[in-house]
């Protein structure tokens, strides 16, 4: 009898673990989130980018446009961190 429950127990643990992982991915890195909030809220509401889903290329183009075209004070390293954060929370997998 114990053997019949073992696979079900493993499945339950795997599903719970996946739920925790997907929630963590949806939240993104706390330091990257803080950087995104600080830099991006200087020019517009955060709901603007958080209301969109883009792939890495799309977010890179958007952040680069803000950085180079709109004059937002974002270093190249900060831009990469912001793009990584946006891909994690508003990328194709976040739909």
pLDDT tens-digit series, residues 42-66: 999 999 999 999 999 999 999 999 9
Can you tell me the distance from the alpha carbon of 14 to that of 26, in angstroms, rounded to the nearest whole number? 18
What pLDDT is stored for residue 78 in this prediction?
97
pTM of the model as a whole: 0.71
Tens-digit pLDDT profile for residues 22-40: 344 457 899 999 999 999 9
Can you tell me the distance from the alpha carbon of 4 to that of 19, in angstroms, rounded to the nearest whole number? 24
Can you tell me the distance from the alpha carbon of 45 to that of 1, in angstroms, rounded to the nearest whole number? 57
Can you tell me the distance from the alpha carbon of 70 to that of 61, in angstroms, rounded to the nearest whole number? 12
Q: Of 19-28, 34-43, 68-77, 79-88, give the lowest mean pLDDT range.
A: 19-28
């Amino acid at each position: 009898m114990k053997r019949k429950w073992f696979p079900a127990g493993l499945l339950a643990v795997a599903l719970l673990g996946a739920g925790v992982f997907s929630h963590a991915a949806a939240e993104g890195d706390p330091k990257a989130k803080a950087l995104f909030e600080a830099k991006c809220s200087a020019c517009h509401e955060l709901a603007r980018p958080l209301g969109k889903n883009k792939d890495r290329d799309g977010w890179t183009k958007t952040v680069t446009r803000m950085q180079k075209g709109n004059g937002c004070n974002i270093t190249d390293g900060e831009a990469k961190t912001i793009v990584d954060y946006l891909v994690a929370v508003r990328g194709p997998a976040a739909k």
